[in-house]
Amino acid sequence: MSTPELTASHATHTRAATDRGLEGVLPGPIKITMLGAGSSFTPRLVNDILRIPGEQGGLIALVDIDERRLTAMKQVIEKLLQKLGRSNWRVAASTERTEVMSGSDYIVNCIEVSGTDCVRWDNDIPRSYGVDQCIGDTIGPGGLFKALRTIPVWLDVLKDAEKIAPRALVLNYTNPMSMMCLAAGRTSAMPVVGLCHSVQGTSHRLAKRAGVPYAEMKWECAGINHLAWFTRLEHRGQNLYPVLNEKAEQDLAGNPSDPDDAGDLVRKDMMLHFGAFITESSGHLSEYLPYYRKRPELYDRYLGEGYDGASRFYATEWPGWREKADEEREGMLCDRVPMEWERSWEYASWIIEAHQKDVPFRIHGNVMNSSGHGGSLITNLPNDGCVEVACMVDGSGVHPTRYGALPSHMAAVCDWNMRMFDVAADAAIERSIEKAIHALMLDPLTAAICSPGEIKAMTLELFEAEKEYLPGYR
């Protein structure tokens, strides 16, 4: 039986879209290091931090190996400080993390390792074997090879942090989330929590779809990143699933209840057959499952455009997204792009505020399943895996809450993916080609398409194409 949902948790996500904060003031200046500071996440995350009520300033250290993007981001953050009148903050920037990371209170990780060069191979080589991906950065061949490139760098970051910023709380935004947090949990003493916005976004979407005020909806959600289940969904004591199921049946029959919400059919179909809604978009979710991306008639029935399931969507669009982000950055500096943002519902600033003020605040984070007191957080998932559960944040850190047992069929779907993550994380830690091959053999979608021999050939072909970015693998 899962633990009762706390009423305060629902206000958490509502107020996170405003400038309001928790009671009290921060006890003093803080130091925050942003790794991968050229990321499009950085301006809004920093804006959120600057809007913490009672903040006492400090130092924002920006780190990126791309000197051009780093220089532009430093100028953006300095301009944001000026616009908000925050003279109590300083900005430092370096392409070498050890030059500026020392003594950090918080490390926010948004790094990207060789993604622009490898995203084409991550998608197109598997596609030649029949494995078609929409996003391909957290699971499947694309997710595996992103992990193999990223985790060794990530673990070096954590080793440096242990030496020069041992008291820092590490907030990870980089995908593949589950494998990143799993590798960290197995090798590092640093406290790491993986942050994603799919729980916040989906909970708001479900309230809108059910036609109820978000602040009045009671819910529980647990599982793994991008595959967490809303096992409880109620409004004033009434189960909301009958309403959602009726609408989903109409949508799947081609008679949408709401023309503006007619897509997202993979999630709706999974809800009808498994009994709960899942946190990630239909296109991305379809990569975690063996059901939808394997025959033309299934594509036609369940998959749509863009995030709704388009083939090669991420690989096709990402180069343009990066260019757009750079253009927006230039626009901010020239006052062509406005920088007047409200505080967002991204968790980073709320964790920092709750931690500094020692005021309890609830988030959903990715943590080791073994990090609960007295047993696994989700009791019917692997104890040494990474799960996404409700966590309470206060002055002593991030405290995962014990969920209990998921319904067994829901746990089994998570477990499929966790077995792949298990071997993949070890492949990256040990830089083992053999374990990488075995990890992809365990991937649900890849296994639904290819034989073991084909999976081995595909993996070796990917290693050959990306060998420049995979040093030390043997």
Which residue numbers are catalytic? 197
Question: Which phi and psi angles does 220 have, rounded to 5°?
Answer: -130, 145
Q: Which residue has the tokens 């009045």?
A: 216
Long-range CB pairs of 409-412 (<8 Å, 24+ gap) are: 409/274, 409/275, 410/223, 410/229, 410/231, 410/274, 410/275, 410/276, 411/378, 411/380, 411/381
| Contact yes or no for 292/286 (Cβ under 8 A) | yes
Residues 468 and 151: their CA atoms lie apart, in Å, by 16
Q: Cis omega before residue 400 (within 30°)?
A: no
By the 10 Å C-beta count (0-12 exposed, 13-18 middle, 19+ buried), 202 is classed as: buried
Residue 292 CA to residue 242 CA, distance in Å, equals 24
CB 126 within 8 A of CB 446: yes
Q: Which residues contact 265 (CB under 8 A, 6 or more apart)?
A: 251, 252, 282, 301, 302, 303, 304, 308
φ, ψ of residue 315 to 5 degrees: the values are -60, -35
What are the C-alpha distances in Å from 184 to residues 150, 306, 343?
A: 12, 32, 29
What distance in Å separates the CA atoms of residue 224 and residue 143, rounded to the nearest whole number?
A: 15
